[in-house]
Amino acid sequence: MRLLFDPPPQLKEELADATYIVPFDLDPDGNPAEGILAVQQGTVKTYVNHKLIHSVPIDKLADVKIHLGIGCAELASVGDDDKEPYLLARFTQTHTERMAELGRAIRIYNNTGVYIESDDQNERICFTCGHRIIRGTSICPYCTKKTSVISRFAQIARPYIGRFVLVTSLLLLASMAGILIPVFNKSLVDNHLVPQKGPVGTALMWVALILLCHLVATFVSMYANRKSVWVGNALSNDLRTLAYSRVQALSVNSMSKRTPGDLMNRITSDTSVIQGFISHVGQTVLLQIVSIVVVTTIMLFTNWKLTLWAYLPVPLTVVVIRWFWRTIHLKFSRQWRWGSRANSILYDIIRGIRVVKSFGNEKIEIEKFQGVSKKLADVSEENEKLWATLSPLLAFVIGCGEFLVLYFGGQDVLHLYDVGRGGMTVGELIQFMSFLGYIYGPLHTLSRFPQQLANFFTSSAKLFEILDEEQDVPDKDVVEDVEIQGRITFEDVHFGYNSYEPVIKGISFEIQPGEMVGIVGPSGVGKSTLINLIMRFYDVTSGQLLIDGHDIRNISQRSLRENIGVVFQETFLFAGTIYDNIAYAKPGAEPEEIFAATKIANAHEFIIKLPDGYNTRIGENGFTMSGGERQRLAIARAVLRNPSILILDEATASLDTETEHLIQEALERLIKGRTTFAIAHRLSTLRHADRLICIDKGKIAEMGSHDELMEKQGVYYRLVMAQRQTSKMADADIEAIVAGK
């Protein structure tokens, strides 16, 4: 969130080097005022109407928090023994969120000595125009650069431009043929059906021409529509693939900042909106505009007065439709929000159904869902009622237009027949009536066009945000594809997921090829973070991480990941057969290699006992595997991959003794000859590691073999003792159960 705004001109010089400048709007008595809260050189300063009213050193402020009042709120520090309470600013609700962020920044500074960065992420309001920013993005739908969006689409759509022009020209031809039908009809009626009877030959010619126009309009548009479907789908396929491949390339860091739903929306919904706009809306609007111009010109030449009558209901219709869309747009976004809330409740509950059932909370969950579902139904009902009102209303307005044309046109026709000149022929009136459809029909589409255009630009901006996202762990221009032996060196590595929250604080060690190292320590100290660094999901903040003496940033990510195998506590299996799931580690592996891998992983036995053996389907409607079985498949995958570095993250946690034994045996075979980096919750499983590195508070607390560390009686010793105590208690419980107490 932005915490550094431009100071008012009166304070420009005084606050030139401020770290944060946040405006607010009330004085301490609650009267409207122009306030500024600034953090400058370790001091928090409050200005009201450009005058400094308080100044306090930042470290004197304890636990700065927002206190909500009625109609206003204040940012203040809570008093404690040696730090005075302090009112920093009073403001209306609009400033609450930003002030809360400033309070957080002050707290973080006092705890860590680091100022968090002021940026425009997670902003709700656009600074340029004041409109709401699209949730989860930094995009303002009103400020997206339209020209750059169009030029980028021109690039993406380049392979299809030839076909696109062809389709549009054909559709234009078809609609011109359609427009000619009333023109020929007029000649037919005027020359052959009303009193002046012309020769039969010409009548037949008009009939043939009308038929020809019908045929052209029908078949050309049939062909063009089929082509258009092809272009649209090819384009949307390109867009989806582009977005999907970009999402695959996103770093773990970028992925963890977004929800799966958001990414899925961008790949599916946003690309459909774009495709729909390019291949249907844009084309239809173009055709309709051309048709309106042509038809209106013919009408004006035929009878300009009647044309004005025909256009009389148009402004009213446009006003009605625009009002309708403005209203429905707001209502639709409400419907969409309730719909998405209902979906996320469903998603959560279906995923966590075991927890719901185990707490017996089904009724509460049903009530919660019922509440949201009822809201959704109410909002949908309102919207549909509005729809249901609009169509007859529009039909009425258009009916009025037709009536006007028929009435005044009819009078003209009668005048012509009465007086013999100065009026309109029957054929012309029929032609007029047919053309009305060309004017009134597109009103609906055209008045929706601004909304659709806005949606198109919003979806495009969301898509381009993903396509343009900078890689935060990029491969350098020149990277090495190295054959990795497995020496891992940490040299004074520092790292934090956030700049103000270091997790790894200066770690140095070296693991030799083939060595098995266990990483131990209390939870939350940064063990998994070390794995994230070795996998290069994140880059170190300072220091160096070397693999075989090469800085990890100089090795191509492809060759790095090819040489690392992982077995996590949770094994993710894709829907598909067991065979495919194992082969995922090495696409194109020979069946013999797969069987050999499953044998090493102690998985072959249980797989062949399944009715479909290796062809058993996993996942939806398929076979559900136990934790131990999944883990053995993960080991088989790792064996098949044959990596020089192996990472085991809590690989044997939460398993029964027998399964654990099978897995332990498989792991022992797997780790032979590979550099192994293992984290285990149960310390006994790491007893045979060549070396144990004990991490505490982001630093290495101690390092050595199990025996050495036990002798030292330090952090590791205490962890082991604590675990023994827990397992003794568990054993005592078991004994008590066995003894029937």
Task: Give the residues lining the site for ligand ADP (CB under 6 A).
Answer: 256, 497, 503, 523-529
Contact 519, 525 (CB under 8 A): no
Give the Cβ contact number of residue 398 at 10 Å: 19
Cross-strand bridge partners of residue 694:
520, 702
Report the nearest approach of ligand ADP to the CB of residue 66 (Å).
Answer: 24
End-to-end Cα spacing for the chain = 59
d(CA 316, CA 394): 10
The smaller minimum CB distance to ligand ADP, of residues 525 and 603, is found at 525
Residue in 58, 283, 71, 55 with CA at minimum distance from that of residue 157: 283
The smaller minimum CB distance to ligand ADP, of residues 153 and 495, is found at 495
The smaller minimum CB distance to ligand ADP, of residues 527 and 604, is found at 527
Contacts of residue 500, defined as CB under 8 A and 6 or more positions apart, other chains included, come to: 108, 109, 112, 114, 115, 116
Distances (CA, A) of 216 to 173, 209, 210, 336, 564: 8, 10, 10, 42, 64
Phi-psi region of 130 (alpha: psi -120 to 50; beta: other; left: phi over 0): left
Report the nearest approach of ligand ADP to the CB of residue 444 (Å).
Answer: 49
Report the nearest approach of ligand ADP to the CB of residue 83 (Å).
Answer: 26
Report the nearest approach of ligand ADP to the CB of residue 501 (Å).
Answer: 7
One-letter identity of residue 138: S
Report the nearest approach of ligand ADP to the CB of residue 495 (Å).
Answer: 9
Length of the chain as a residue count:
741
The smaller minimum CB distance to ligand ADP, of residues 525 and 709, is found at 525
d(CA 25, CA 7): 14
Report the nearest approach of ligand ADP to the CB of residue 38 (Å).
Answer: 29
The smaller minimum CB distance to ligand ADP, of residues 523 and 621, is found at 523
Report the nearest approach of ligand ADP to the CB of residue 524 (Å).
Answer: 4
Q: What is the dihedral of CA 506, 512, 516, 522, to 10 degrees?
A: 0
Distances (CA, A) of 139 to 4, 245, 340, 414: 19, 22, 20, 61
Any idea what the Cα angle at residue 313 is, between residues 310 and 316, rounded to 5°?
A: 155
Report the nearest approach of ligand ADP to the CB of residue 119 (Å).
Answer: 16
CA gyration radius for the chain?
A: 36
The smaller minimum CB distance to ligand ADP, of residues 425 and 529, is found at 529
Report the nearest approach of ligand ADP to the CB of residue 116 (Å).
Answer: 13
Contacts of residue 697, defined as CB under 8 A and 6 or more positions apart, other chains included, come to: 505, 525
Burial readout 614-647 (b: 16 or more C-beta within 10 A, e: otherwise): bebebeeeeeebebbbbbbbbbbbbbbbbbbbbb
The smaller minimum CB distance to ligand ADP, of residues 117 and 381, is found at 117
Residue in 645, 399, 322, 702 with CA at minimum distance from that of residue 525: 702
Contact 107, 61 (CB under 8 A): no
Report the nearest approach of ligand ADP to the CB of residue 496 (Å).
Answer: 8
Report the nearest approach of ligand ADP to the CB of residue 113 (Å).
Answer: 18
Residue in 511, 541, 546, 514 with CA at minimum distance from that of residue 526: 541
* HEC-encoded secondary structure of 40-75: ECCEEEEEECCEEEEEEEHHHCCCEEEEECCCCEEE
Q: What is the DSSP letter of 132?
A: B
The smaller minimum CB distance to ligand ADP, of residues 370 and 542, is found at 542
Report the nearest approach of ligand ADP to the CB of residue 541 (Å).
Answer: 13
The smaller minimum CB distance to ligand ADP, of residues 118 and 528, is found at 528
The smaller minimum CB distance to ligand ADP, of residues 523 and 657, is found at 523
DSSP of 495-539, one letter per residue? E-SBTTB-SEEEEEEEE-TT-EEEEE-STTSSHHHHHHHHTTSS-
The smaller minimum CB distance to ligand ADP, of residues 171 and 679, is found at 679
Q: What is the DSSP letter of 585?
A: T
Report the nearest approach of ligand ADP to the CB of residue 78 (Å).
Answer: 25
Phi-psi region of 673 (alpha: psi -120 to 50; beta: other; left: phi over 0): left
Report the nearest approach of ligand ADP to the CB of residue 664 (Å).
Answer: 21
d(CA 221, CA 216): 8
The smaller minimum CB distance to ligand ADP, of residues 254 and 556, is found at 254
The smaller minimum CB distance to ligand ADP, of residues 134 and 473, is found at 473
* Torsion sign, CA atoms 682, 687, 689, 694: positive
Contact 603, 558 (CB under 8 A): no
The smaller minimum CB distance to ligand ADP, of residues 256 and 508, is found at 256
The smaller minimum CB distance to ligand ADP, of residues 336 and 497, is found at 497
Report the nearest approach of ligand ADP to the CB of residue 730 (Å).
Answer: 22
Report the nearest approach of ligand ADP to the CB of residue 719 (Å).
Answer: 12
Distances (CA, A) of 387 to 328, 378, 391, 609: 9, 14, 7, 60
The smaller minimum CB distance to ligand ADP, of residues 507 and 525, is found at 525
The smaller minimum CB distance to ligand ADP, of residues 370 and 498, is found at 498
Q: What is the DSSP letter of 277?
A: I
Residue in 517, 510, 515, 513 with CA at minimum distance from that of residue 485: 513
